[in-house]
Structure 1
Amino acid sequence: MSNTELSDSQSHLTEKQATPLSNPSGEFVVQFWGVRGLVATPSSNTTRYGGNTACVEMRVGTKHLIFDGGTGLRLLGKTWQELEQPLEAYLFFTNSQSNRIQGFPFFGPAFVAKNRFHIYGSAASNSASIKQCLCDQMLQPHFPYPLQVMQSELHFHNINPGSEVKLGEMTISPALINTHQRSVGYRVNWQGFSVAYVTDLSKNPEQVEQEKILQLIQGVDLLIANSTYAPPTAHNNDSSNLQWQTAVDLASKAGAKSLVISHYHPDDDDDFLDRVQSEIKSSFPKALLAREGMILSVSK
């Protein structure tokens, strides 16, 4: 695997293979389990980058964080179940749209009594809490089993953008980055390292939103951001630069040391994303396109 230096400092980003849930050296490790936006797209044309919707795992010291619960959450859950040990993790949702929560009913570890999960989210555009949104999608006729069937300890927390969540030495800071979609971005700080998960960027953020985003991602070691695109009926792969430019511009302004683009449009196949990977390097050399299963370690 490649080893990419992020800056002139001692910080660097390492792409490597690792055993899920293991973090023996107490590092800051990021793994991508779902990289697709809108809807899952399993096909022969998405095998290299992946077809599952949003789910990113962060192993930070002894803590295990999950950001978004798209269909990639099911894969993460299957891996964790193989470990046959009690689990505790923290789930942070950016919003309550279907592509961010649709994997939760299939998250196997949540059905095991010995496990404990802390679930964080802000109010949806209709004022529903994250608990209500997760419950509603598991009601008939949408799903055969209600959330109450899950035997693990589920602790729900309503977060307000601008507040902080402290977990030992780690601080998770949420910010409202897309007012229209009521979407939250997160910054994780731990022992001098930082990763920002900002995956609902609009093509032209309003000035107030842009200021909040820049404040959240200022100087991060790793920025995980989305591609932006028109609605599905208007998607055009010929204008790839328009999809990635917002993330690149914000990363440059904020002095982010490295950038990972994720949340691809359903029509973005592997060949198209290969071309984008080459193109984006010319604008931001420390940029990568996320691939399902990719593991990055932020360390000294």
Structure 2
Amino acid sequence: MSNFELSNSKNYVNEQVTPMDNHLAGEFWVKFWGVRGLIPTPNSHTCRYGSNTACVEIYVAGQHLIFDGGTGLRILGKMWQQQQKSLEAHLFFTNSQSNRIQGFPFFAPAFIASNCFHIYGTAASNGASIKQCLCDQMLQPHFPYPLQVMESDLNFYNLTPGNAVELGEVKITMAIINKNQKSIGYRVTWGEHSIAYATDLHKSLDIEEQKQILHIIQGADLLVTNATYTPPTGKNHEYAELFWKTPVDLAQTADVKRLVISHHHPDDNDTFLDKIQDQVKSAFPNVLLACEGMLLSVENS
């Protein structure tokens, strides 16, 4: 049975990142470098949970996997640079919206020739590949340097939901979890253990979407997902239960062992998120709200 433990790291990531020995957390762990949805929100009221947009690192069986490249990817890159050694990693994108890709132009290790990155994604709603989406955001007037100035070895892969990527002993399966946004969710499996990353849930799921989501989260040791929000212009904290009902229902149905809710709304400050976490625990005790710097490890026992 899996046992998840919080590391001794700080509850948030700041500019003074410290290199971490991978083996201190075991052979299968997840670390949160960006936990905010939509747009970065740096201010004094978001410092505990964090203000960077989505970026999650998973280390498993010697493989470095990154899920989404929001602004948290820049901080991860700074930590990796301090290790002063060649890197090889796999970047998986859930969709091509700005909050998932905006950190990629600032990912410093991609500019170093000795590094190698494998980049995965599915077609955006307009049909553009993940490579095209990353290229477009680095063109003038959006960014001063094109993707071609990145000297690392960049390998792009177009994913087909329903198929799988195998990296040695690690298997990554995927499924469409939000048809409107063309968003995919992932399940990382190593032996008997698994982590699911499905971060584009919306409040009303049709039968096909629910089937796809349950397929990748069923029995997962850990599910990283989002709470479902009302539209930004109609946000009302009086209806906070709407923020977490869908992920809790899915986690209970799929017999998920631990739930982590991430992609917090820009308007949700630390105090409000503390209250939400207490409310969710009343329905699903083994839950955490993600904060930057949080490290969870899957230990065999």
Q: TM-score range by the shorter chain?
A: over 0.9
Q: Which moved more, 1:129-138 or 1:228-237?
A: 228-237
Matches within 5 A, 1:275-286: 275-286=275-286
> Is contact 2:26–2:298 with CA below 8 Å preserved after alignment?
no
CA distance in 2, matches of 1:126, 1:21: 41
CA distance in 1, matches of 2:236, 2:34: 22
Deviations 1:168-195 (A, max 9, x none): 0000001000000000000000021100
Partner of 2:35: 35
Deviations 1:179-213 (A, max 9, x none): 00000000000021100000000101111000110
CA distance in 2, matches of 1:156, 1:39: 26
Give the ranges of 4+ consecutive aligned residues of structure 1 lying more than 4 Å apart after TM superposition. none
List alignment gaps of at least 5 residues for structure 2.
Answer: 10-18
Among 1, 4, 23, the residue aligned to 1:13: 4
Deviations 1:222-263 (A, max 9, x none): 000101112211111221110111000000000000000000
Partner of 2:100: 100
Partner of 1:154: 154
Partner of 1:61: 61
Matches within 5 A, 1:51-90: 51-90=51-90
> Is contact 2:31–2:56 with CA below 8 Å preserved after alignment?
yes
Q: Which moved more, 1:16-25 or 1:112-121?
A: 16-25
Q: Which moved more, 1:28-37 or 1:234-243?
A: 234-243
For the aligned residue pairs, the C-alpha RMSD in angstroms reads 1.1
CA distance in 2, matches of 1:12, 1:125: 38
Residue 265 of structure 1 aligns to a residue whose secondary structure is: coil
Matches within 5 A, 1:138-153: 138-153=138-153
Q: Percent identity?
A: 62
CA distance in 2, matches of 1:26, 1:243: 33
CA distance in 2, matches of 1:212, 1:200: 13
Q: Which moved more, 1:218-227 or 1:234-243?
A: 234-243
Give the C-alpha shift of residue 12 in structure 1: 1.0
Deviations 1:116-158 (A, max 9, x none): 0000000000000000000000000000000000000000000
Q: How many residues of Structure 1 are paired with residues of Structure 2 in the alignment? A: 291
Deviations 1:99-127 (A, max 9, x none): 00000000000000000000000000000
List alignment gaps of at least 5 residues for structure 1.
Answer: 1-9
TM-score by length of 1: 0.95
